[in-house]
Amino acid sequence: MSLHLPRILIVDHFDSYTLNLLSLLHPTQPSRSDNLSLQHDEAELARRISERVIVLPHTHPLLAPDAFHQLVRPHIDAIILSPGPGSPDKAADFGAAETLLKDESLNLPILGVCLGHQGLATAFGGQVTRAISVRHGLQSKLKISAPTQPKSQTVSSLLDGVPQDALVVRYNSLVVDPDTLPDCLQVTAWSYDQVSTAPPPKPGKTKQQSFPTPLNIPTEPLAPLKHRDLASLSRSPSTVPFSSRRGSEHLSEVEELELSEATSIAGSTELDSVTAPGAPLSLTIMALQHKTLPFYGVQFHPESIESTWGHKIMSNFLDIVRRYWFQRGLDAVSSVSTNARRRVDAWAGADLTLPAHLKLAGESCLASDAQAQAQATPIATQSPFTLVTRRSTSLPVDSCPDMARIFDQLFRLCSPTGAVWLDSARRKDPHSRYSFMAIPSFTLSYKAGSDDILVSADGKLTTSISLTEGAGHFAPKSTLWSFMNDLQSQLQASTDTASCAESFKDGEQSNVFRTGFTGYWGYEMKNESLELDTQAPTGSNSNAFDAEFLYCPRVLALDHHLNQWIAFALVETLPANSFLPHRLGKVDRALKDLQASGKSWSRWALARSDAEAWIEDTLKTVSALSSGLPSTTKVDAALSAAAFRDAMPVLRPRMLAEDYMDQIESARELIAAGESYELCMTNQFQGRLAPLSSLADDADTDHFDLYCKLRARNPAPYSAYIKLPSFATDADQTGTRKRGRAILSTSPERFMRITSDGRVEMKPIKGTLARAGFGPGEQSVRAGGATPPEEVVKQKWREAEDEARRARLSADVKERAENLMIVDLIRADLFSFCTSVSVAVPKLMQVESYETVHQLVTTVTGRLKASVGTIEAIRRCFPPGSMTGAPKRRSVQLLERLELNLADAERDDNLFARRGIYSGALGWLACDGAADFSVVIRTLVADGDQVSIGAGGAITYLSDAKREWQEVLDKLNALATIDA
């Protein structure tokens, strides 16, 4: 591998795939060998990338012409213009990059990708038009033509060494119009396209709907879609696709076969679902280069995990950069040539780096590799806290502890602050190793955009902590993300966990909830995580918090693999008035304020004697409950499959069916206009439970019985019951009991796992197919209920059918495209805070088979940079890409209005839809830095008598509005009656 890396500026157009370009600067695959020299080179290359590559958003002040020439231009050697939403002829989408391309004094090589490629054409007089085939997450074959300029020129081909028919991934709705291509540009690659079978978006009452500024979405339609056959292309003065085909109006049978092969992925013919067989063919420009300047563009995404030859293309660009500066080193003007030679020589050295002001400017996109700030380390020489733990003896192999009964007796009513049960209800799932039960001692609650965090030690009356540091109008204000990141980092640095690690011998000690915080980040926290300009929408309910975390110094875990209980407790090792780091001390002082006003409060840890007594009593009790026969209680009586549906009220959608389908058409129009690749539309369904006054006297007020019914109806690996503080008295003036607040989740999807040693894993699931015997009408072919010969026949059928279904799911074009869009998004998220050499995809779209379903699963992994805390990592990935679409930033801005009830949208142009807890992330943050969060889907949010469930789906250009609405209903009909 070459370590001669130039300094590169990547201009990010707020695309969710930009940072994947970093992967192309590394070898094709990181080394897994024991060759220490090779490992050293990989680590050194990763270090040089962090020191020499800067990513700036296209709106950054440093990209203004004067600032760029003074503060940026002298310190970089090349520019990459990223993909992005929108159109290159809109200044709000591409203005800074267009200025760079038109700057005659720039003298830097440029590579444009997707939007950057289109902008290369428009900057020199070309135009973009809508593609005849909208392609997102789909592969195409490249048809490469050699550049025509003399070999003596310094400009060479970006595609040297890339073979014909190389498969590349595309995410585009717009393409460069060949009829408008200026003479200074030439085409170096094409692909065949056919007209999509998807009908154009239907006009509706949302046609004139406005969207948040500063998106600058065009109010006039783009150029009308025009079919381009080979004859029209051959007449264009700047296009030479294949000299032997000039003037040809039809393709041969061989060429039609090539097209069919190009639009086939994994054995499934894409023409059946995406394009129309026999439709007119068109050549679409896939790559451009300037004839005299070192400017290059590719319409496709070489950085996608499913694009081939991406590393070769980037290697060619780096060679072009080297040759460009080498040639300038031979120029006659001595000062220019001397500086150019110095640049090239410096690339080989280990000390070349970007100046400090550029590194600082780029940290919003790429986290620094510097060590974590000193404030995370406590001043005390002895850790204020230590973790104690004890395991029970293993339970009998065939035993199955009555988890609901144990939680009911030991945790449910133990603390007025709330109760926590992180419940791996689908025990056979390989990702469901642990279940956790915890007793919270205080809560932190926050509303997006607020300056205060509410602190409560009893769930009723509270005090607050200000996010503003110091006093005065210009006092700096942190966000909840930064506050919690500091708080968790300081808790980790203040806790001695060494003795606890000895209890784990199988490598799982780095991913266990060993006390800490549990709670959720609501979807509206996106405004702070993405640094959006729009104000977070607020609900009318005063209890509608956007993030809440319950601090739990006592945790009980069940290891489902070893069938053992494990108890954890955080213990004080220093006197109660000892110094605590900044954020810990700030919360501690707030808790003391509660004590001073006569309310109960808790410090961060327990006295050792109290902790040991709790562990002893708890393990003794759960062992007895686990080994004995479950008693008949109202909890046990509720566990029938139909009980949850019967207990639920009728739910009604916030957005009616007609409006929802109309908004789907609006979403398709936005996708066709290039504003997004995929938009994850959702809707809220709400209802009211029967009042407690109409029920039995022992009816619960905390929704726990309802959760027990839900987990029986829909067991999931990331189930959870969290009883939240109500911030109100349990009875009104007449003494009537009231229900409180709770989250009842049966999520199947992991958002992010971070181990205590900094390993990160995300596992997007896109694509599900029922196993043989579990599809509609297949119950009779399941195992059991037949004679031995009949069972043999059924088993053979199931085995053959399962094999066929696995192959069908693996080859499904639409499922793979949707999975790929999220996988590429997640890779880019990880590149923003993981070491670049560590980001990998060990499992790409593989079919995993479970008890009742096959699923298309991808695993994306990385390792945290030293400067990045656990919550900072979560922030950089939030909200979950599977709930937004891509590009993430633009998509969430569009969804704020698309998901709004149309009557509200017409009444107030500044109103935005609110999802609440749904679509956010729920999980735990341990005192050792580990964390595990799920995506909040298939989750009931209860607030008093009011209950709500969110549901939706990914909208692409190929979506059918009626089918999408029916899919939403199908997801909910198993759980409740829907009045739509």
**What number is the average pLDDT over the span 710-723?**
90
Encoded tokens for 955 = 């909208």
Encoded tokens for 111 = 């590579």
Distance between alpha carbon 610 and the CA centroid of its chain, in Å?
A: 41
Asked if residue 71 has pLDDT above 90, the reply is yes
Distance between alpha carbon 769 and the CA centroid of its chain, in Å?
A: 23
Domains of the chain: 8-195+230-362 (3.40.50.880), 384-634+701-745 (no CATH)
pLDDT bin (cut points 50, 70, 90) of residue 336 is: low
Range picked from 287-301, 337-351, 713-727, 763-777 for highest mean pLDDT? 287-301
Q: What is the mean pLDDT of the chain?
A: 83
Q: Report the alpha-carbon distance of residue 874 to residue 485 in Å, rounded.
A: 10
User: What is the predicted pLDDT for the residue at 371?
Assistant: 57
Range picked from 17-31, 38-52, 520-534, 599-613 for highest mean pLDDT? 520-534
In sequence order, the 6+-apart residues with CB closer than 8 A to the CB of 923 are: 422, 518, 520, 718, 751, 931, 932, 933, 934
**What number is the average pLDDT over the span 78-106?**
96
Report CA torsion sign: 764, 767, 773, 775: positive
Amino acid at residue number 152: S
Of 639 and 576, the one with more pLDDT? 576
Q: Are 325 and 344 in contact (CB under 8 A)?
A: yes
- B/e letters for 614-653, b = 16+ CB within 10 Å, e = fewer, are bbeebbeebeebbeeeeeeeebeebeeeebbbebbbebeb
- Minimum mean pLDDT range among 175-189, 403-417, 594-608, 879-893: 594-608
User: What is the predicted pLDDT for the residue at 473?
Assistant: 54
Task: Give the length of the chain.
Answer: 980
User: What is the predicted pLDDT for the residue at 271?
Assistant: 34
Asked if residue 324 has pLDDT above 90, the reply is yes
DSSP for 46-88 reads: HHHHHHHEEEEETT-GGGSHHHIIIIIGGG-SEEEE---SS-T
Asked if residue 674 has pLDDT above 70, the reply is yes
- Minimum mean pLDDT range among 30-44, 171-185, 380-394, 666-680: 30-44
Amino acid at residue number 637: A
User: What is the predicted pLDDT for the residue at 332?
Assistant: 56
pLDDT tens for residues 450-472?
Answer: 999 999 987 666 889 999 876 55
pLDDT bin (cut points 50, 70, 90) of residue 152 is: very low
pLDDT bin (cut points 50, 70, 90) of residue 912 is: confident
Task: Say what the pTM is.
Answer: 0.87
Asked if residue 491 has pLDDT above 90, the reply is yes
Q: Report the alpha-carbon distance of residue 130 to residue 183 in Å, rounded.
A: 22
Encoded tokens for 139 = 């592969």
Q: Strands, DSSP E only, in 278-402? A: 281-290, 295-298, 385-391
Q: Report the alpha-carbon distance of residue 775 to residue 972 in Å, rounded.
A: 18
pLDDT bin (cut points 50, 70, 90) of residue 91 is: very high
Asked if residue 945 has pLDDT above 80, the reply is yes
Q: Are 438 and 552 in contact (CB under 8 A)?
A: yes
Q: Are 185 and 290 in contact (CB under 8 A)?
A: yes
- B/e letters for 563-584, b = 16+ CB within 10 Å, e = fewer, are bebbbbbbbbbbeeeeebbebb
Listed in sequence order, the DSSP H helices in 689-766 are: 704-713
Encoded tokens for 218 = 């065009």
Taking only Cα atoms into account, the Rg of the chain, rounded to an integer number of angstroms, comes to 30
Whole-angstrom CA distances from 566 to 317, 413, 436, 614, 925 are 55, 21, 9, 12, 18
DSSP3 helix / strand / coil % (the chain, rounded to 5): 35, 25, 45
- Minimum mean pLDDT range among 414-418, 457-461, 841-845: 457-461
pLDDT bin (cut points 50, 70, 90) of residue 402 is: confident
User: What is the predicted pLDDT for the residue at 745?
Assistant: 96
Amino acid at residue number 491: L
Q: Report the alpha-carbon distance of residue 109 to residue 767 in Å, rounded.
A: 41
**What number is the average pLDDT over the span 754-779?**
87
**Coil, strand, or helix at residue 136?**
strand
**What number is the average pLDDT over the span 603-629?**
87
- Strands 295-298 and 110-113 turn out to be parallel
User: What is the predicted pLDDT for the residue at 691?
Assistant: 87
Q: Report the alpha-carbon distance of residue 784 to residue 457 in Å, rounded.
A: 53
pLDDT bin (cut points 50, 70, 90) of residue 582 is: confident
Q: Report the alpha-carbon distance of residue 266 to residue 679 in Å, rounded.
A: 25
Of 420 and 598, the one with more pLDDT? 420
pLDDT bin (cut points 50, 70, 90) of residue 291 is: very high
In 10 A of CB 423, how many CB atoms? 25
- Minimum mean pLDDT range among 254-268, 760-774, 814-828: 254-268
User: What is the predicted pLDDT for the residue at 280?
Assistant: 67
- Minimum mean pLDDT range among 77-81, 574-578, 865-869: 574-578
User: What is the predicted pLDDT for the residue at 220?
Assistant: 34
Asked if residue 414 has pLDDT above 60, the reply is yes
Q: Are 841 and 823 in contact (CB under 8 A)?
A: yes
pLDDT bin (cut points 50, 70, 90) of residue 130 is: very high
Distance between alpha carbon 302 and the CA centroid of its chain, in Å?
A: 21
Phi and psi at 463, nearest 5°, equal: -125, 180
Amino acid at residue number 10: I
**What number is the average pLDDT over the span 490-517?**
78
User: What is the predicted pLDDT for the residue at 621?
Assistant: 92
DSSP for 407-430 reads: HHHHTTTT-TT-EEEEE---TTST
Phi-psi region of 563 (alpha: psi -120 to 50; beta: other; left: phi over 0): left
Of 977, 973, 894, 976, residue with least CA distance to 682: 894
**What number is the average pLDDT over the span 310-317?**
96
Q: Are 708 and 404 in contact (CB under 8 A)?
A: yes
pLDDT bin (cut points 50, 70, 90) of residue 318 is: very high
Q: Are 523 and 915 in contact (CB under 8 A)?
A: yes
Q: Are 130 and 173 in contact (CB under 8 A)?
A: yes
pLDDT bin (cut points 50, 70, 90) of residue 499 is: low
Q: Report the alpha-carbon distance of residue 605 to residue 386 in Å, rounded.
A: 9
- Quick one: angle between helices 334-348 and 310-328, nearest 10? 140
**What number is the average pLDDT over the span 844-858?**
83
- Minimum mean pLDDT range among 124-133, 307-316, 530-539, 875-884: 530-539
Asked if residue 820 has pLDDT above 80, the reply is yes
Report CA torsion sign: 392, 393, 397, 399: negative
Phi-psi region of 602 (alpha: psi -120 to 50; beta: other; left: phi over 0): beta
Asked if residue 504 has pLDDT above 80, the reply is no
Whole-angstrom CA distances from 750 to 71, 334, 903 are 42, 59, 35
Asked if residue 818 has pLDDT above 50, the reply is yes
Asked if residue 25 has pLDDT above 50, the reply is yes
Whole-angstrom CA distances from 870 to 139, 285, 536, 878 are 35, 43, 24, 13
User: What is the predicted pLDDT for the residue at 767?
Assistant: 77
Listed in sequence order, the DSSP H helices in 812-869 are: 813-831
Range picked from 543-547, 572-576, 800-804 for highest mean pLDDT? 800-804
**What number is the average pLDDT over the span 837-852?**
87
Q: 424: buried, middle or exposed (CB in 10 Å: 19+, 13-18, 0-12)?
A: buried
